Structure 1
């Protein structure tokens, strides 16, 4: 038995863990690469350093809608150059190439990672049967044993003047002993009804195609296409006491009050002042904090 895109001699190891079978590339292409659709190509690599880096390097030769998936990612990156690694075939490691076009003002491109979060959360909730929420700006959260845990993240990076590579990493079947840190989670640990990556991947890409199409049709106006409201509805950060770690070592503490029209988090401090945060880490504070 061989596997498409597997190197010579690798087929035996590809099937060494039957609880984590390889993705069915041919079936994914049949389902997703349809005439008139957003997705124009789909490749699955056995292993890659970072799907975002790999796709960005080839962006100049590819049309919009190229999809790159890895069975294993050895140097995955999150925001602020943090690493993201997981056992082979234990998660979804995905990047897509988007070209929003000149009709979308560049200042609205900042919505793309938030759009990716809404698309992933809605698609995965439908296919995995487990609740997901969003931590501003780009984390996917699940509940494990009553605790909020990060199970995935989004990373958007410019690729040349007219393209964005949007990456998604999701822990799907990791058990407690495989988590990168004890505070992480996975769909499996959140009691998902399915951890079959094929339908999960299809659901995410179909959801992403729908949200991206609506956003682009609205000229990138997140309010007009419903994206701003959808993000706010699924955002676990809103209404919480938060601490925003800002560039330059500064910090801002207050209540996360809203997501504004540019995708920024509006924080209300104790003196009633409202500040829109566009970059930085957000810590969800508990009363004891």
Structure 2
């Protein structure tokens, strides 16, 4: 383990425990800022992974997340927000977390070493060649995550591997490796610090590009959001009005006609019938720009 950068001692760690609070926090913050900066070097790999994942979703496959401990929590945070932000159903973005739901309240290290858990989780999910599996492990050697990646490869699925240690087993195993070079932590081995920050940013970038490729973002608006509370209903109405140019009352009426779905509501507010809106979106694979252009031509 001593040859892993994530386990090495940070050059500024000597006397860390005796530093004034403000100085210590500044040092910790510098670690996070530096972790964000290293993500830039991985942008080409992140882009490739996002393109493959979006094509998998468009073809009826799933974008699966997998991880243990802090890395698993970063994956879970990204996974859970895809429904609210992009309207992607949870069954299309399942999460494999070492130890399952029980481990979320009481994180334990033993579950990440248990091969039976990984085998049971992957068997229950039924991975196929249509899927893309995003596996996270700061060390790149977490047994649970590696076994999920191996099962995914055996099923013919594409594997995205995100790790913070160069040349690690996960990066060697992955079809689409993403190395985040965060180096030593100010608390040696505590990858909930810089390593986790870089992972979260990389996942955030990846899922944003996926959402855009699926047609769920238009001019910066979340046009496939799940409007399931008062705040989001008002946001949906503002989006419909902002894109279509319609008055607020027209936007609300369009949302009622579309049963709360933003994309068809935009087209209805722009003058389409509900039937024409549905047809336009089907023909453009859910992309609002070309659907609006089509509606404009048909009027």
* Same fold by TM-score greater than 0.5: no
TM-score (norm 1): 0.25
- Structure number having the greater helix percentage: 2
Q: Return the index of the structure with the highest Cα Rg.
A: 2
- Structure number having the greater strand percentage: 1
TM-score (norm 2): 0.24
Give the number of the structure with larger relative contact order, counting CA–CA contacts within 8 Å between residues 6 or more apart.
2
